[in-house]
Amino acid sequence: MIKSKTKPSSSSNNNAQGSATGSKERTLSLKEYWKQFLPFMSPYKKLYFLGLLPIPVSIFCSIAFPWLIIQIVDKQLTVQKWEGMPLWLMLISFVLIANYLASSSYSYFIQKAALYTMRDMRVNMFNRVLNFPRSYFDKTPMGAVLTRLTSDLEAINESLASGILAMIRDVLITTALLIFLATISWQLTLVTLIIAPPIYWITSSLRRLLHDSQLASRAVLSQSIGYLQESLQGIKTVQLYNAEKESQSRFAFFTEAFFRFQSRSNLIDASLFSIIEGITTISMGLIIWYGAHEILAVALSVGVLIGFIQTLDKIFVPVRDFTSQIASIQRALAALSNIQSLYNQPLETDNDDAHLSPDQSKWMSAQLDSFDSLTFENVRFRYLKNGPYVLKGVTFALHKGDKIALVGSTGSGKSTILRLLTKTYSDYEGSIKLNGLELREIPKKWVNNFFSLMQQEVYLFNESLAFNIGLQREGVSDEDIKAAAKYVYADEFIEKLPNGYQFVLAENGSNLSAGQAQLVAFARAMASGSDLVLLDEATSSVDSVTENMIQRAIDHVFAEKTVIAIAHRLSTIQHSDQIIVLDQGEIIEKGTHDSLVSLGGFYANLVESTDE
């Protein structure tokens, strides 16, 4: 028995470390933060205004309370005058109630506005992701995208509601209180301001450390969620091959890495809070010592000292809160730095025909009204700029009604040809022309409407069968859905299911057999009624009975439409008008099944090995 590893591979370690260190290159400033944020806040400026409107009331109440304390102590208690006390107590009660209402209104409206802002931002980001080039998802783990749309956005929401806006509010109140302190005793105010330089230096130094730690923490969290999603999707495979220990070990590694970075962030945050708490406590002691000395010298009244201490305590509360606000803002900046990658990702540049004039659009529409021809002329392509070519001078032509099959070993370039046809990639060399028009010049949405693609990988949604076939596409009616199912013989099992076309599929169609799922996907491809049909391994992963049903459907398609088919099972494509044999990105043979067999080359050997 092969023993499961107890430690994750070194590549995992390198990836985590690379994410942590590489994240420093993606830091954002507060100015960039607001530049990203303001467009989403703008629609709710009234709510934000209503939230900020009570701040002057809070400022007034924060000043009025210590002023009232001074008046009561100096004019009532010190001289033992009791007649006006009920009035003073009523005024204090009024101030406390007004301050409570102002603070509650601020919290309610700001939280509500922040939730609306986050909702719009999440929808905007999801819509943006939907318009990413399909090639983006070949290189980016889904877990990383999921992290951006969930936990990173929550971190931003936290900073907006309780970080930046709260800091602005606290700065305004603190400034007003300092001015008030200066009016009652400028000497004590100077003593208080002694703590400002060390607090500024300490917060500036620790803020940078906290920011770097938060960036590393969120980078590792993204990796952790990505691996978690991958493991859960493949949990049946993990269990089947007894790979639980390896999966546990790798996930534990990512979790431990996140724990370390987050613990470091918490330590910095706690240290910052403790240091500022200590400085403010020492400052309070100095004020009491100096104030007592002034009282003994009859240079300061007891009421002023008490009012000063009361005001100073109100100032120190936001100063202490400032540490948690900094932590919140640093988390948000780290999260937004990650989210920035989604905003920096270019969208589809040819996904609409806005760059065409009305006459050009009309002419192109007429040219693409129905399929006539497709030509590849010396097409070369590589996935990476400096990588090896996966297509090397591919040339062939397809005309209306033709059926062409692409054959070759894995990595020969068959699927790459379909990726170019569907404009998953457009940076090819040479020429690909559809009805005489260069493919890269045709808007992708027009190309998508021009063909039907039966993919090798089948994905079914947790929705009804009708939804999975039609996908609520414009122009696809219930009749089209049923006709497409009948076209591929899927109606034979659909009508036997409970609720028929309204039968709800489990996750990825797990309550269907592999063959039934393949037929549903085939019906999805046929529902659009396109002239050009692309079949990518249409009979893979099916039993012989289902393969026979799909083969009948393919024969039906071949009789009426233009087809490009990829298949390892030669029974699927041996009746094609032309079979193109690929090897390492080059066409090595062309011809019909019979001519290629008689040639005795690569295809003939393939047929012979298949027969065996």
How do residues 72-94 score in pLDDT, each as one tens digit? Answer: 887 777 667 777 778 888 888 99
Tell which residue, 134, 167, 199, has the closest CA to residue 448: 134
Alpha-carbon gap, residue 253 to 227, rounded angstroms:
11
- pLDDT given for residue 393 in this prediction: 92
pLDDT band, residue 580 (cuts 50/70/90): very high
Alpha-carbon gap, residue 24 to 213, rounded angstroms:
10
| 8 A C-beta contact, residue 354 and residue 48 | no
Instruction: Name the residue with tokens 């819509």.
Output: 127
Alpha-carbon gap, residue 528 to 96, rounded angstroms:
67
Tell which residue, 388, 398, 403, 387, has the closest CA to residue 421: 398
- Please return the burial class of 204, using the count of CB atoms within 10 Å of its CB with bins 0-12, 13-18 and 19+: exposed
pLDDT band, residue 325 (cuts 50/70/90): low
Alpha-carbon gap, residue 240 to 562, rounded angstroms:
42
At a CB cut-off of 8 Å and minimum separation 6, what does 391 contact?
379, 380, 381, 382, 413, 416, 417, 420, 428, 585
Query: Tens digits of per-residue pLDDT, 454-501?
Result: 876 777 888 888 988 888 887 788 888 888 888 888 888 888 888 888
Give the three-class secondary structure for 195: coil
Neighbours of 542 (CB within 10 A): 20
More confident residue, 356 or 493: 493
- pLDDT given for residue 73 in this prediction: 81
Alpha-carbon gap, residue 153 to 354, rounded angstroms:
32
Query: Tens digits of per-residue pLDDT, 399-415?
Result: 888 889 898 888 888 88
Alpha-carbon gap, residue 336 to 29, rounded angstroms:
10
- φ, ψ (nearest 5 deg) of residue 407: -130, 145
User: In whole angstroms, how large is the CA radius of gyration of the chain?
Assistant: 35
Q: SS3 for 554-599, per residue? A: HHHHHHHCEEEEECCCHHHCCCCCEEEEEECCEEEEEECHHHHHHH
Alpha-carbon gap, residue 42 to 19, rounded angstroms:
34
Alpha-carbon gap, residue 251 to 8, rounded angstroms:
9
CA 156-158-159 angle, to 5 degrees, is: 65
